[in-house]
């Protein structure tokens, strides 16, 4: 399993989910219920502004933008915390 590719794919899927938010789509019913609950607890969470924010995140989590973002990092499949600890005596 390629953990890095799996994580990138998960971010892409999240981006697509955010890009396709539509009130009339039953898949998003729970999402809109959560937004309504957030608004009830904090009036700053206006539906239209939340949707703008999620759309922006959806646009940012495109495959191209994710790949551009990660190119500045030296990512290896085995570069997780367990590898860090073994390299530094942890």
pTM of the model: 0.74
Nearest Cα to Cα of residue 57 among 3, 17, 10:
17
**Predicted confidence (pLDDT) at residue 1 exceeds the cutoff of 80:** no
**Predicted confidence (pLDDT) at residue 88 exceeds the cutoff of 80:** no
pLDDT at position 2 is 87
CA atoms within 13 A on the CB side of 15: 17
Q: At what angle do helices 47-60 and 29-41 cross, to 10 degrees?
A: 120
| Mean pLDDT value across the chain | 87
Instruction: Tell me which DSSP letter residue 86 carries.
Output: H
pLDDT band at 76 (very low <50, low <70, confident <90, very high): confident
- Choose the weakest-confidence range: 1-15, 31-45, 56-70, 73-87: 73-87
Ordered by start, the domain boundaries in the chain are: 3-87
Can you list the alpha helix ranges (DSSP code H) found in 1-90?
Answer: 3-19, 29-41, 47-60, 63-70, 81-87
């Amino acid at each position: 399993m390629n953990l890095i590719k799996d994580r990138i794919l998960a971010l892409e899927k999240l981006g697509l989910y955010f890009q396709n938010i539509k009130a009339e789509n039953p898949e998003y019913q729970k999402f809109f219920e959560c937004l309504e609950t957030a608004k009830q607890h904090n009036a700053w969470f206006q539906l239209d502004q939340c949707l703008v924010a999620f759309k922006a995140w959806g646009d940012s989590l495109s495959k191209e933008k994710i790949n551009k973002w990660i190119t500045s990092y030296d990512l290896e499949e085995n570069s997780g915390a367990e590898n860090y600890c073994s390299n530094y005596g942890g």
